Copies of this chain bind each other. A is one copy, B any other.
Amino acid sequence: MRFFSDNAARVHPQVMAAIAAADVLDTAYAGDAWSKQLDARLSALFETEVAVLWVPTGTAANCLALAALCPPHGGIVCHRDAHIQNDEGGAPEFYTHGAKLFLAEGNGAKMTPDTIRGVIDAIANDVHRVQPHAISITNATEYGRVYTVAEVAAIGALARTRGLGLHMDGARFANAVAHLGCSPADITWRAGVDALSFGFVKNGAMSAEALVFFKPELAAVTQYRRKRAGLLLSKGRYLAAQILAMLDDDLWIANGRAANAAAAKLAAAGGDRVIHAVEANEVFLRATPEEAATLRARGFDFYDWAEGEIRLVTAWDSPAEAVDALADAIAAL
């Protein structure tokens, strides 16, 4: 029973069906009937005009966004534990041609205006120092915490004041929105976000993420960069179809809710062991190596996060019996 990560979960049947339905001849690249719907469909969802590019990975979405917001000689403020800093193999540096990541602090991988200000105020405004050009936040964060609308808006206000772009890594955007119960618009552009990596792969898609620009002019140049990065698949319809299927009937939010609910069960069982408030689909628990071994012996697979800590991740398709069984096992520790 796998609680290792949501990134290897199965593909939702409706997504698989949409892929099969896209198996007709159409125009290559992003000229097909499916890809052409993305702007309108996501503009409707976000209640404003957006420009959207599909890409096959979240890393690609993140880094194309960063490249749109930060020149090669600039820098990007992100949390010390951000995925772009630790888990993308240097892709931000590759896509931006060497921009620097400035690392800020914050509980649960959440930065605050204060911790961001602490970083950028320490940077003298001269040519010897790399100057910050953008901020990147992850929602839900790498620790399963969720920035509220007010929290994002406060960072957005800071970004505007300092002339910085604002990117949101939404690899688990569905989980964040499901938790908040807000509109996607409120947590993004209305709060000052310029570009969103709208994640679907962890939430039921196979190989499609949406890079959403709330400043459509940023998408124009990014079209060239997507191609230049070898990311413009010739049969783009199979990617666009996945995204459209995830949007149909709000499947994305339903899947996010399902994963969150499973995590909530585990959190409840975890009680005092819970390290970070469980607001999305990740559960970090204090557990001795022996306790971890006990859980594994019962057939549960998960990640040893740090000494004395384990990480459990639920997904849209976490089987109810497995979740219940794991909750029981945790409670029994």
Report whether B72 and A227 are in contact in the complex, using a CB–CB cutoff of 8 Å: no
Please report the C-alpha to C-alpha distance between residue A255 and residue B40 in the assembled complex, in whole angstroms.
37
> Is A2 interfacial (CB 8 A cutoff)?
yes
> Is A117 interfacial (CB 8 A cutoff)?
no
Report whether A129 and B89 are in contact in the complex, using a CB–CB cutoff of 8 Å: yes
Kindly list chain B residues whose C-beta atoms are within 8 Å of the C-beta of A91.
227-230
Chain A residues packing against B (C-beta within 8 Å): 2, 5, 7-11, 16, 19-20, 23-29, 32, 55-63, 71-73, 75, 86-91, 93-101, 127-131, 201-202, 206-207, 221, 223-235, 238-239
Q: Which residue of chain B is the closest to A97 with respect to CB atoms?
A: B97
Q: Which residue of chain B is the closest to A72 with respect to CB atoms?
A: B97
Please report the C-alpha to C-alpha distance between residue A239 and residue B235 in the assembled complex, in whole angstroms.
14
Interface secondary structure of A, over-half rule: loop
With known contacts A131-B224, A230-B63, A238-B207, A98–B89 Cβ distance under 8 A: no
- Shortest A223–chain B CB gap in Å is 5
With known contacts A57-B231, A201-B235, A206-B235, A226–B25 Cβ distance under 8 A: no
Q: What is the total number of copies of this protein in its complex? A: 4
Among A99, A206, A223, the one with the most B-chain Cβ atoms within 10 Å of its Cβ is: A206
Report whether B25 and A2 are in contact in the complex, using a CB–CB cutoff of 8 Å: yes
Report whether B56 and A207 are in contact in the complex, using a CB–CB cutoff of 8 Å: yes
- Shortest A98–chain B CB gap in Å is 3
Report whether B7 and A128 are in contact in the complex, using a CB–CB cutoff of 8 Å: no
- Shortest A241–chain B CB gap in Å is 11
Q: Which residue of chain B is the closest to A60 with respect to CB atoms?
A: B230
Report whether B93 and A99 are in contact in the complex, using a CB–CB cutoff of 8 Å: yes
Report whether B59 and A73 are in contact in the complex, using a CB–CB cutoff of 8 Å: no
Report whether B8 and A128 are in contact in the complex, using a CB–CB cutoff of 8 Å: no
* Residue in B23, B95, B97, B227 whose CB lies within 8 Å of A11: B23
Report whether A20 and B27 are in contact in the complex, using a CB–CB cutoff of 8 Å: no
* Residue in B26, B32, B73, B206 whose CB lies within 8 Å of A90: B73
Kindly list chain B residues whose C-beta atoms are within 8 Å of the C-beta of A221.
71, 73
Report whether A128 and B87 are in contact in the complex, using a CB–CB cutoff of 8 Å: yes
